[in-house]
Chain A
Amino acid sequence: MSRTRRRAAGLVLAGAVVAGVAPRLAAAATTRPNAAQVARAESRLGGRTVPDIPVTLADGRRVQLADLWRDGPLLLTFYYRRCTGTCTPFLEWVRDAVQAAGGLGSDYHVLALTFDDSETTADLRAQAAALRLLATPDWDFAVAAQADVARVAAAVDFGYRLDPATLQYDHDSLLIGIDRGRVVRALFGTPEGNDRLRELVWELRGVFLPVYRVPGNTLLRCFRFDARSGRVRLDWGLFLLVLPGVGAICLALLMFAGAGPYRRVRLTGPGAAPTPGRQ
């Protein structure tokens, strides 16, 4: 390649790098915060106290929330029956994910609390029947006074707002693990896959999880929590931690081995003598 061409190629490459960096910098500021906001919102809820409100269950019993979490951890979610959006798919996902995670009844039970106080116990049973959960003893559906639901929702940052035009609620999707009245972990939205719910279930079982959520796609991680087995496993990122040490040893071996044939002074006597000519 001629010198002129090399220069031109260099200029094009430098231009491409500059052109590539600028939009990335702008994009980095606008795309990542969404995932980060969710992670932050979830982590903010950890340890919060959930108000102990009276609720009416699908079988007509009136109990306190504390009665439900007294016997063991509680998985709480919000919905309303008339929802034409995410409520039913979300509840179906919770049902299936809980079944896949295991431990329902023995380690925790589930409460789906409607935030539409006009619903009756018949509506609750209809919702349970639609989800084929009517005969599942560790799944409860409940309704409570509007003010009480609002207290719980405020305590766990759950937002819902009635749209007068459509009479539909504009709302989030939220699943909260509660142990003895305190939030253990929260999941906003429908998590991709079931692993995050499995992690929540491990925490409800009292297992300390040495993992945290990293917003967006992560290139490499040091460790991975296997939510199925509940064990921490090494991940490929750890290779990057080993690489510098191994690289340094290899470089040293290569350098000393490569210099061997050219070694000018063979040390057969005292080696502390200064190099000839450098006194």
Chain B
Amino acid sequence: MTTTRASSETLYWIAITFVLFPILTAVGIFLRTVQAGGLPGLQSWFYPLMTLHGVGMVGVWYVAAMAAVSDRLSRYVSPSPLMGRIALAGTLLGVALLLVCVFAGRFAAGWYFLYPLPFKGEWPQWAAVTFLLAMTVLGATWLLWSLDLLRAIAARYSLSQALAWHYLAGRSEPELPPAVLITTVSLIAAVAALLSGVVLLVLFYVELLAGTASDPLLMKNLTFFFGHTLVNLTLYLGIALVYDLLPVYAGRPWKTNRIVATSWNCVLLIVLFAYFHHMYMDFVQPGALQAIGQIASYASAIPAAVVTIFGALLLTYRTRMRWNLGSTLIFLALAGWAIGGVGAVIDSTISANVRLHNTLWVPAHFHTYFLAGVVFMVIGYFYHRCQELTDLPENRSVQRLAVLLMVIGAYGFFAMFYLAGAYSVPRRYAIYPAELAFGAKYAGAAAAFAATFLLGFILYLAETGKRWLRVVRPGQ
């Protein structure tokens, strides 16, 4: 096994993730506690903190996944260290602006700031402007970062090679690591999503400066093109890590072949249309686009998921798998992807969405594939990386306990969302009215499960943190 030196940016990204994630998780626990009827004096903070939790989690895991993939791909290609530093600085500036608008301005339009809400809330206008500036800084930084990683891939592979088209033509030379294929697919789609964010922000600024209103339907389409696609691609970046790491632990290669190439090229073709499923309740969206939304949701998720999960099972079947904190989390992440994916496919079915739209089923499915999918993939990689660099002895009992607490906490937390969603408890209610009082019980249980998860994460942090410290300060 070859070990590459971790760049200082990667170590910074790991530290930033380890600081921000528990804080944002605590914010999430606060939200469910308020919904359970607790902390009555802090109820007015529900929506500003919901905004922070949403934008924060989406942002943290996009940059964490990008950092992890950049680090892993540096085995094959050469991302620019300067761009890595710019991404770090831009993200920190964006986060600072976000904190200002939430804590000083109480901006509370939610993580996808659906038009025209930023201009209509009770917060001061400067808070909305600061939020839009934060989105601009983050979007521009991530666009440049994505383009740089694409450039690095382009410096080594042609486009047809990077997209594995030679496998589709029946040739297996030159050999292409699946991680490069998946990252190329994800980055091209990420550039589209981020460009959509640019168009969206330009329209916001046009209204701000020239007073010319925008078409709400256009703005909602752009919002979900940007937001949904970016979240989707965060997951795919995590899967690129899985393809590259599982073989390390299984001791078997996991190579690109025609099936893998076909499924991921399908993703590139279709993932940009999947967001239409967010528009099912918008009667002004033509019916044809709604049908495309359902088909694209199925087609962008199922082939890649089936191929990857079956591939992973075949890879690990009857092999001397080396289980540790990293490999266990990465393997469990595939289960999170599958379970959350089924929840997502159900929700993207028009006849089911009529019942489930804007209920807690929606956060149920995206928390499943984000927390038990992306988060497990990325923190699994971070552990793997820190362990690879230090080779410290592993405390199996602590690692098993950390995984157990995180799994029980996470799935208990999801179950409360799914059950409440199935009983039509709406999302984004700070306080449940009398008719929905039973939603508070689910919220209380969810807060307890989330705290259990956080406890498990702290144990994970202790295990990974000491390895990170050893990398940063080798003498200690």
User: Which residues from chain A sit less than 8 Å from chain B, CB to CB?
Assistant: 20-21, 24-25, 27-28, 31-32, 210-212, 214-223, 232, 237-238, 240-241, 243-245, 247-249, 251-253, 255-260, 262-265, 267-272, 274-275, 278-279
Contact of B188 among A219, A238, A249 (CB under 8 A): A249
- Inter-chain contact A214/B150, CB cutoff 8 Å: no
**How many residues on the B side are at the interface (Cβ–Cβ under 8 A)?**
60
- Inter-chain contact B218/A222, CB cutoff 8 Å: yes
CB nearest neighbor in A for B77: A275
Residues of chain A with a CB closer than 8 A to B173's CB:
268-270
On whether A222 and B221 interact (CB within 8 A), knowing A247-B195, A271-B177, A272-B76, the answer reads yes
- Inter-chain contact B174/A270, CB cutoff 8 Å: yes
Residues of chain B with a CB closer than 8 A to A237's CB:
215, 217-218
For the complex, what is the distance from the CA of A31 to the CA of B212, rounded to whole Å?
11
CB nearest neighbor in B for A31: B211
- Inter-chain contact B155/A214, CB cutoff 8 Å: no
Residues of chain A with a CB closer than 8 A to B74's CB:
275, 278
User: Which residues from chain B sit less than 8 Å from chain A, CB to CB?
Assistant: 2-4, 74-78, 119, 125, 129, 147, 150-151, 154-159, 161-162, 173-177, 188-189, 191-196, 198-199, 203, 206-218, 221-222, 225, 255, 272, 283-286
CB nearest neighbor in B for A208: B283
- Inter-chain contact B218/A241, CB cutoff 8 Å: yes
On whether A275 and B151 interact (CB within 8 A), knowing A221-B215, A222-B221, A264-B156, the answer reads no
On whether A244 and B209 interact (CB within 8 A), knowing A251-B191, A259-B154, the answer reads no
Residues of chain A with a CB closer than 8 A to B212's CB:
216-219
Residues of chain A with a CB closer than 8 A to B286's CB:
210, 223, 232
On whether A223 and B191 interact (CB within 8 A), knowing A256-B158, A264-B156, the answer reads no
For the complex, what is the distance from the CA of A27 to the CA of B211, rounded to whole Å?
8
CB nearest neighbor in B for A219: B212
For the complex, what is the distance from the CA of A154 to the CA of B338, rounded to whole Å?
56
- Inter-chain contact A263/B155, CB cutoff 8 Å: yes
Q: A20-B209, A24-B208 are in contact. List 10 more A-B contacts (CB 8 A).
A: A32-B211, A218-B212, A237-B215, A241-B221, A244-B195, A258-B154, A264-B156, A267-B156, A272-B176, A275-B156
- Inter-chain contact A215/B156, CB cutoff 8 Å: no
For the complex, what is the distance from the CA of A264 to the CA of B272, rounded to whole Å?
32
Residues of chain A with a CB closer than 8 A to B222's CB:
240-241
Residues of chain A with a CB closer than 8 A to B119's CB:
28
For the complex, what is the distance from the CA of A56 to the CA of B194, rounded to whole Å?
64
